[in-house]
Amino acid sequence: MNAPDAARLPAAAATPHVMNTYGRLPFALSHGRGCRVWDTDGREYLDALGGIAVNTLGHAHPRLVPALQEQIGKMIHCSNYYQPPLQEQLAARLCELSGLSNAFFCNSGLEANEAALKIARKFGHDKGIERPEIIVYEKAFHGRSIATLSATGNAKVQAGFGPLVEGFVRVPLNDVAAIEEVANTRPGVVAVFLEVIQGEGGINATTTEYLRALRRLCDERDWLLMLDEVQCGIGRTGKWFAHQWAGIQPDVMPLAKGLGSGVPIGAVICGPRAAWVLGPGNHGSTFGGNPLAMRAGIETLDIMQADGLLANAATVGAALVAGFERELADSPGIVEIRGHGLMIGIELDRSCGELLGAAAEAGLLISVTAERVVRLLPPLILTLAEASEVVAILAPLIRDFLAAPVTSE
């Protein structure tokens, strides 16, 4: 009797020594090239998830790989005790693209958001506010540490981890009246913290008008406007940062995911109001800003600019939305097809987690978030032909799923 292939066993059986914190599909990926990946049995998949908005340049990019190999041969890590020339190079580039002032580097979106929360609290304490409060949002997701979990607007992921951190005031998205009421009744507020497009919450976009209203209110009240661009930034919507569609600038902007094209990296970019809140000893990161991550960020931005990937994200994203609108136009059960650039959500009228496995069986990697939203976050190198292939695979799966009898949830 042959031994079972561990890569295709259920997670608990295939990886008994790995903590069971993920609902995994029963296969393991081996390698990739461009927007294609292969599993350990040789099956090919079109990657429409991009490592959850991480693999900006796809897989094994022919210019990124040799650059990272060269950097590994020089230096992977050094302590922040010493001058960081690659940090300065990447920080200068991010400040140029955003119009902001300086950057702090860490390792993930969670860490970037933690840093933003610390900046907001220190900003408040420096103003003499003993118990500073931060406005956050329903359906938001900022991470799974205790502080970022407390800022998150999802009771399901918070369950079992109380007591949560105090100091957050929650409001609905795109409701100007709600935030004005908070402004008039909560004197300890020091910042507004939100995703420009909620990713885990279901691809829910903040409107241009609301972002502009927040910018005005923060200026009037001397609050920090903190925009979490961990998932929607780095060109995903067709501009470097999603808030740029509204013609505004934040005071604090956490970044991560796509900035390193797969190499772990996080960053907090600050404007003049927040740039000098933190000083030596106020914050730090052992691995943050290491030479390998910095080189990955620099090369990612260079390649994106040279290859016109912002324009590609806008063009190919529009083609994806148009394709799904055409193919799913007569399908009852479609609530909305929405998104910006290559950040797309297809909301159904029922839970649709089973589409994750069905799509993989058909050779397509996707995500399902907020239980009812099919989420697409492909590499920014996705071509129009590959976008047509995504629609051709996924639309029939969604139609068949919606045509099936509804089971009790």
The verdict on residue 409 lying in a domain is no
Residue 160 C-beta-side C-alpha neighbours within 13 Å: 3
Instruction: Out of 274, 306, 338, pick the residue that ends a domain.
Output: 306
Same domain, 157 and 299: yes
The verdict on residue 211 lying in a domain is yes
Cis peptide before 264 (omega within 30 of 0): no
Record the tokens describing residue 320, joined without a space: 């994806």
Record the tokens describing residue 184, joined without a space: 């008039």
The verdict on residue 65 lying in a domain is no
Instruction: Out of 288, 306, 324, pick the residue that ends a domain.
Output: 306
Length of the chain: 409
Same domain, 375 and 299: no
The verdict on residue 69 lying in a domain is no
Same domain, 88 and 181: yes
- What number of other Cβ atoms are within 10 A of residue 133's Cβ? 20
Same domain, 230 and 363: no
Residue 74 C-beta-side C-alpha neighbours within 13 Å: 11
Same domain, 47 and 183: no
- What number of other Cβ atoms are within 10 A of residue 382's Cβ? 27
CATH at 192: 3.40.640.10
The verdict on residue 67 lying in a domain is no
Separation of alpha carbons 230 and 238, rounded Å: 15
Tell me the CA distances in angstroms from 66 to 74, 120, 258, one per residue in order: 13, 39, 19
The pTM for the full model equals 0.95
Same domain, 169 and 256: yes
The verdict on residue 51 lying in a domain is yes
The verdict on residue 301 lying in a domain is yes
CATH at 44: 3.90.1150.10
Q: Which residues contact 124 (CB under 8 A, 6 or more apart)?
A: 132, 133, 188, 190, 191
The radius of gyration of the chain's CA atoms, rounded to the nearest angstrom, is 21
In DSSP notation, 139-162 reads T----SSHHHHHHS--HHHHTTSP
Same domain, 237 and 316: no
Same domain, 258 and 374: no
Instruction: Out of 277, 306, 335, pick the residue that ends a domain.
Output: 306
What secondary structure, in 3-state letters, does 101-132 show? CEEEEECCHHHHHHHHHHHHHHHHHHCCCCCC
Same domain, 182 and 110: yes
Number of domains in the chain: 2
Same domain, 252 and 316: no
Record the tokens describing residue 302, joined without a space: 């260079």
347 bridge partner residues: 336, 373
Domain encompassing residue 153: 75-306
374 bridge partner residues: 346, 368
pLDDT tens across the length of the chain (409 residues)? 344 455 555 556 778 999 999 999 999 999 999 999 999 999 999 999 999 999 999 999 999 999 999 999 999 999 999 999 999 999 999 999 999 999 999 999 999 999 999 999 999 999 999 999 999 999 999 999 999 999 999 999 999 999 999 999 999 999 999 999 999 999 999 999 999 999 999 999 999 999 999 999 999 999 999 999 999 999 999 999 999 999 999 999 999 999 999 999 999 999 999 999 999 999 999 999 999 999 999 999 999 999 999 999 999 999 999 999 999 999 999 999 999 999 999 999 999 999 999 999 999 999 999 999 999 999 999 999 999 999 999 999 999 999 998 765 5
205 bridge partner residues: 197
Same domain, 206 and 327: no
Same domain, 148 and 248: yes
The verdict on residue 95 lying in a domain is yes
The packing angle between helices 384-403 and 354-361, to 10°, is 130
Residue 249, judged by CB atoms within 10 A of its CB (0-12, 13-18, 19+), counts as middle
